[in-house]
Amino acid sequence: MLLNNKIAVITGAASERGIGRATAACFAAQGARVAILDLDSRAAAHAAQQLGDGHLGLAADVADPQAVSQAVAQILAHYGRIDVLVNNAGITQPVKTLEIGMQDYDRVLDVSLRGTLLMSQAVIPAMRANGGGSIVCLSSVSAQRGGGIFGGPHYSAAKAGVLGLAKAMAREFAPEQIRINSITPGLIQTDITGGLMQDERRHAIIDAIPLGRLGNAQDVANAALFLASDLSSYLTGITLDVNGGMLIH
């Protein structure tokens, strides 16, 4: 198994049809013990129970430094180490530039960008003490193409920031064998996107995807597994596109 006896932390992983939940299930199937972090403690605990024995579900707001520190301390007390972090937590908002209020801006950037920084800061000392680790950061094709299907410009900015942050951290921590990579999903069928597309719009979007289908959460989970495992041991600072050819560059 690719992650046998590894300890993996995945943020925003309680949603049943989300990328985080699929990643948690994928990692558990490959031998990892998984700590699921989400805003809702009951949902996080339930998601962890669904994975089987040996997994942990905790409440944490990734944009809150104290909450992040407390959650990571609990994970370290429970497992003794952290080998993998998946910075998955994020929110979007389908508004245009002139409609973005400062509260909206703060909320969207805080979860995706501040959360990625705070979680990485919290786990890197443990990875450093352990001799290495892997951090996977979830960005978006919208960061690359200047807007997505649903997210506003502040979402694109947040996800572009994730790419820059991940690359800078990758360069800084590579000498300590902490690998940091990003995934840029295209349009993935999740709880967030599932109710937002009418049939006509859905078909128009699919027609623009060379592989001829929308992505699913498992597609992204498989990419995260690759980056988390030793299969990618010589990769750091990369951006892995998972978009069916929606953006080829």
Query: Tokens 């501040």 appear where?
Result: 114
- For residue 155, indicate whether it is catalytic: yes
Find out whether 20 and 47 touch, Cβ atoms under 8 Å.
no
- The sign of the dihedral angle between the CA atoms of 50, 57, 103, 19 is negative
Say what the pTM is: 0.96
Of all residues in the chain, the percent with pLDDT exceeding 70 is: 96
Candidate from 97-111, 182-196, 201-215 with smallest mean pLDDT: 182-196
Of all residues in the chain, the percent with pLDDT exceeding 90 is: 90
pLDDT in tens, 156-175: 999 999 999 999 999 999 99
The candidate with the shortest Cα–Cα distance to 245, out of 161, 141, 166, is 141
- pLDDT exceeds cutoff 90 at 192: no
- pLDDT exceeds cutoff 80 at 193: no
pLDDT band at 95 (very low <50, low <70, confident <90, very high): very high
For residues 126-145, give the mean pLDDT.
Answer: 97
- pLDDT exceeds cutoff 80 at 219: yes
pLDDT in tens, 54-90: 999 999 999 999 999 999 999 999 999 999 999 999 9
Per-residue confidence (pLDDT) for residue 195, from 0 to 100: 55
Write down the catalytic residue from 79, 105, 155, 234: 155
Per-residue confidence (pLDDT) for residue 203, from 0 to 100: 80
DSSP state of 207: H
Candidate from 70-79, 99-108, 143-152 with smallest mean pLDDT: 143-152
Per-residue confidence (pLDDT) for residue 122, from 0 to 100: 98
- pLDDT exceeds cutoff 90 at 194: no
The encoded tokens of residue 215 equal: 């992505």
Pick the CATH number of 7-242 from 3.20.20.300, 3.40.50.300, 3.40.50.720, 3.30.1490.110: 3.40.50.720
Domain ranges for the chain, please list them. 7-242
Angle at 180 between CA 137 and CA 120, to 5 degrees: 65
Per-residue confidence (pLDDT) for residue 200, from 0 to 100: 66
The residue type of 112 is S
DSSP state of 215: E
